[in-house]
Structure 1
Amino acid sequence: MNYMLKDENAIYYECRYSCDNALYLRLGSEAFFITDSRYTIDAEQNVKGAKVIINGDLYGEAVKLLKKAKVKKVVFDPKEWSVAGFEKITSQCKVTFKAELDFSHKKRIIKSDEELEILAKAAKLGAKAFNALAKEFNQSGFGESEYALTHTAKSILGSFGKYELSFDPIVAVNSNAAKPHAMPTKKKLKKGDLLLLVDAGLKYKRYCSDRTRTVEVGKGFKFETRQTFKSKKIQKAYDTVLKAHDNAIAKARSGMKAKKVDALTRDIITKAGFGEYYVHSTGHGVGLDIHEMPYISSRSDTIIEDGMVYTIEPGIYIPGEFGIRIEDMVAMVDGKAVVL
């Protein structure tokens, strides 16, 4: 198969190296990694299974290679390409360019044993970071705004620069947690607050982790899944989310459609009377990208298979009051979901 890639993670998957200015071409049995001279040393030392070509004109070099190879068809993912970059190549080649959405994500949907080990390590490091974050918030987080708490979360999760983050962490207090992807505000953390939601992850060897915990803020609180709340309404909502989370992990099976896994959380939340407040899908794949296949939604017919890694993250969000989400990453192993 002939294909061309522009996305960093898609390129990394192919040759174990990428940078912010590169183009990858696979033409039959040959592969080419094209980049500029800033990355010569790193590329030559790290690229596997592809010829490194140094040329600041990535697109011009790609055109030369395509013409020389005399290929008739090349696959690409339109999500990866700018209009200008794509046209620089296609306007100069008599080649049929076939668009295939999520081309690389489809290749990466089943993780290798090596990838599963890396993702498990990323998840364990993420969990360890949550423990450190709880300790830091207990010691110096009270009276701090969500802005400051988010900054602290970035430092702790990244081990002060040792690891990259999977995404900007979400740290939301009380009613701000009702926004699934809440942005930080001036709202301050206080002892006795009904709720603190933290959604965060870090990268290990470029692979992401993703985790969410929701707690009542009291003395010595920890980011554990079992939580007690003073408010009966919040407690009911929390227990419902936890039941949905645990049910999906216990009952997800290889061979199921993704929408069936979604139903394992959604049906419980709906029956408890919170259905209208569950506003997102149950989960998403995790790998080199924080969001990739499979998508665990009520519309997905994707068949779940061994080797897939995805999140289980049901939630209830009541505007102006509170939001609750509990999230863990699972891998499908021997037909069942195993928490990483």
Structure 2
Amino acid sequence: AEDRFSSHAPFHFDLSILDLYVPLKHGASVHLIGEDLAQNPRRLPHFIAEQRITVWYSAPSILGMMAQFGKLDSNDSSSLRLVLFAGEVFPVKHLRLLVGLWSHPTYYNLYGPTETNVCTFAKIPTTIPDDRTEPYPIGPACSHCDDLVLDADNTPVADGEEGLLYMAGPSVFGGYWNRPEENASRFIERDGRRWYNTGDVVRKEPHEGYIYIGRRDRMVKRRGYRIELGEIETALYRHKKLREVGTIARAAQDGVKILAYVSAQTSERPSLVDLKAFSAQVLPSYMIPDSFIILERLPRTSTDKIDYQALTRSATQQTPVL
């Protein structure tokens, strides 16, 4: 009852469900964050200190920006006991910076599409090795959810193998309103239960729970290889001068072309030659982007995720830089 929850997510974003209903159930207080403040990583640390926030929950992007620009070591964050994040992959270099500045809270990576809300969780260590580059797991299923991983033939896969994640349980929504074809494509009946296809490819490891591989609709075939575009982003985030990375694929006459949109950490931008050379060091040849486009900042959705649709629209309107 003494907890003080931030409410950073807009109400149309499913993260707001935890922000509002968990404190309501436990008699804690909710501290609303206005739209202007929510997008200001330099002012949010002061809000946390002033309101004595104990539980923070947001998309990773805003936490990463606070770590980079919010002067966290100059604001009192001693009240924080839980830092929760969900909605997109948290680049490890930004997460490492954050936990280095805020070492006292407990961190959890939460996962779940809007249709299920949070359905897996993973505790994040507060010491992240310098040589770690892979994002942390999304963890095992929550106690209120049942999970299932199936291959393309709807056969359960063994631990260590990849497959589509399905969820069942009381938090799974009833279906899409007046969209029977969509419902038929996203739900299956199995063992007398109705299971929702999240569209996310995962791999289950015995001691870590689920490893998030990526969206099925973000996977492309190129030169005979299956590529998860998120893997390219993870590799490029290792570049010290890059703050944001977003990749898209476009069909071309000679095959699939991969475009990487990036923004720089500082005014000192990496050169396109440098980006190509770095890509060759951290990626196999078939995954190296064909083009790099450097922006001041990548477009974001109203829920603080990289707006891949906006990047795709932009790609159809311009000639790639390299």
Larger RCO of the pair (alpha carbons < 8 Å, separation 6+): 1
Q: TM-score, normalised by structure 1?
A: 0.27
Larger Rg: 1
TM-score with structure 2 length normalisation?
0.28
Point out the structure with the larger helix share. Answer: 1
